[in-house]
Structure formats: C-alpha cells, structure tokens
Chain A
Amino acid sequence: DAGITQSPRHKVTETGTPVTLRCHQTENHRYMYWYRQDPGHGLRLIHYSYGVKDTDKGEVSDGYSVSRSKTEDFLLTLESATSSQTSVYFCAIRQGEFEATEAFFGQGTRLTVV
C-alpha cells in the first residue's frame, strides 16, 4: 500500500472556525491533491500541488487554502468553516503529473461543520 496518511480521520467543528487537515506521504511523490467527495458529485478537486511551495486551484477552491512546505506534507485549511463544507476529504498522490500514473488515496477525513 502507498504510504499516505490523513489526519484527523474525523472532526466536528463549529461554523466560523478555522480547520486544518493534514496529508502525509512517505513515497516522495511530486504531486499531491485534495478532493472532497459528496453524494451525487463524485470526487471534486479542491487544490493540488506539483512541488514544494507550488500549488494551484481546482474546481471547488473557494473557502480553502493549501500549503506545502515539505515534499511529504500537504495541508488543507478551511479559513472559516461553513456547513456547506461538511464532506469527506481525500488526499491523493501521484508519481508524475505528465505521465499516465494512477493516484493513490489516503483513508479520508470526515468533517462535520455544525
């Protein structure tokens, strides 16, 4: 199994509070992704990173920010959590972007905003 872990696995937070989710990999893969998964929508890309300090927005980036200060860690921050951000969040890694390589996923973080 690919070495990718997410923390926390579950979190309940209040509306308006900041929240940070962590993704840690031991594979030294260059590309890292944050997705959210909601019923009926499949996986939607929030942000991705193609190297240390190199990140870009996905299709649902509003209200989220990311940081990657080390190859192995990719952080997702909800600046001020809203109920619409209640979701399951998955981190994924890929060895190379401009290659046909599969993505490996972390176990997910279930976030509830109350």
Chain B
Amino acid sequence: GQNIDQPTEMTATEGAIVQINCTYQTSGFNGLFWYQQHAGEAPTFLSYNVLDGLEEKGRFSSFLSRSKGYSYLLLKELQMKDSASYLCAVLDSNYQLIWGAGTKLIIKP
C-alpha cells in the first residue's frame, strides 16, 4: 500500500527554527509537495521537490532524499502566523497525489 507519515503535532517558539519530517512509501515517485493550511482555510502550495537536495524559498526550505523516502520542511524565524497545519503529498507513478495526514504546528510566544 501507499503510505505517508508525518508527526501529528509539533510545538515551537516564536523566532526559532522547526523541522517537519515526512517519510513516504509510494508506488513510484514524481515529486513531493508541501502545503500550508491555516485552520478553517484551504491548503496553499509551499514547495515542490523532485530531485535530491534542498530548495530554499525565503524563510521556508524543503529537503528531499529519494533513496531514503524522506523529506523535511524547515521553517526559520518562526512567526505567530506560521501556526498552521503542514501537509506533505507525493505524486505517485500515475501522477496521483497521495496525502499525509498533516502536521499541526503550534507557535508559542
């Protein structure tokens, strides 16, 4: 079967750095997406990785290791508005999106 694992919940402090991990086992791989979802809102696209390595976008970075079936989202200089759920999704061999259950990130002052 296909499976994506993320921690259910994480807590971090404003101004700090947090790393949200995602491990996957899917039938094929055509890339991995990270989405942000604030409570009561729709998911919004953050990043896409298809090759190994780190992609940086401002305060957010995403890393991929295809051989390990592993990705992480790194958030720096945390702000209160970063409190949200972060969803990991893999594009499988049929180009279908397989979603993780999401990680709820709580930022404390």
Interface residues of A (CB under 8 A from B): 40-45, 90, 97-100, 102-108
Interface residues of B (CB under 8 A from A): 8, 30-31, 33, 41-45, 48, 50, 87, 89, 91, 95-97, 99-102
Bound: A103/B43 CA distance, A: 9
Docked Cα-Cα span, A43 to B90, in Å, equals: 12
Nearest chain A CB to B91's CB is how many angstroms away? 6
* Residue among A43, A98, A103, A107 having the largest count of chain B Cβ atoms under 10 Å: A43
Instruction: Assess the A105–B44 pair: CB atoms within 8 A.
Output: yes
- B95 near A99 with CB under 8 A, answer yes
Give the residues in chain B near A90, CB-CB below 8 Å: 42-43
What's the dominant secondary structure at chain A's contact region?
A: loop
Which residues of chain B are within 8 angstroms of A107 by Cβ–Cβ distance?
Answer: 41-42
B99–A100 CB distance below 8 A: no
Q: A42-B87, A42-B102, A99-B95 are in contact. Are A104 and B45 (CB under 8 A)?
A: yes
Q: State whether A106 and B101 are in contact (beta carbons under 8 Å apart), knowing that A97-B95, A100-B50 are contacts in the complex.
A: no
Would you give the shortest CB distance from B58 to chain A, in whole angstroms? Answer: 17
A108 to B38: give the CA distance in the assembly, Å: 12
Instruction: Collect the chain A residues with CB atoms within 8 Å of residue B97's CB.
Output: 45, 103
